[in-house]
Amino acid sequence: MSDTPVQTSATVLTVRQVQDYHAMTLVAPAIAERFRPGQFVAVAVGGEHTSRLVRRCFGVYEVKSDYGGTVEVVFADRDLGTAWLAGRRARDQVDVVGPLGRPFRLPRDPVSCLLVGAGPGGAALFALADTLHRRGCQVHFVLGGPTARQVFGSRMAQRIGDTAVITTEDGSLGERGTVRDVLPKAIQETGADVVYGCGPTRLLRTVTGTAAEHGLPSQVSVEEFLQETGACGIGVCMTCVLPIHGEDGMAHMVRACADGPVLRGDRVRWNDLGTIPFDALGAPRTLSGGAK
Query: H/E/C letters for each residue in the chain?
Result: CCCCCEEEEEEEEEEEEECCEEEEEEECHHHHCCCCCCCEEEECCCCCCCCCCCCEEEEEEEEECHHHCEEEEEECCCCHHHHHHHCCCCCCEEEEEEEECECCCCCCCCCEEEEEEECHHHHHHHHHHHHHHHCCCEEEEEEEECCHHHCCCHHHHHHHCCEEEEEECCCCCCEECCHHHHHHHHHHHHCCCEEEEECCHHHHHHHHHHHHHCCCCEEEECHHHHHHHCCCCCCCCCCCEEEEECCCCCEEEEECCCCCEEEEHHHECHHHCCCCCCCECCCCCCCCCCCC
Global pTM? Answer: 0.92
Q: Tell me the pLDDT of the chain (292 aa) as tens digits.
A: 567 899 999 999 999 999 999 999 999 999 999 999 999 999 999 877 666 678 999 999 999 999 999 999 999 998 889 999 999 999 999 999 999 999 999 999 999 999 999 999 999 999 999 999 999 999 999 999 999 999 999 999 999 999 999 999 999 999 999 999 999 999 999 999 999 999 999 999 999 999 999 999 999 999 999 988 888 888 888 889 999 998 888 889 999 999 999 999 999 999 988 888 877 776 554 433 333 3
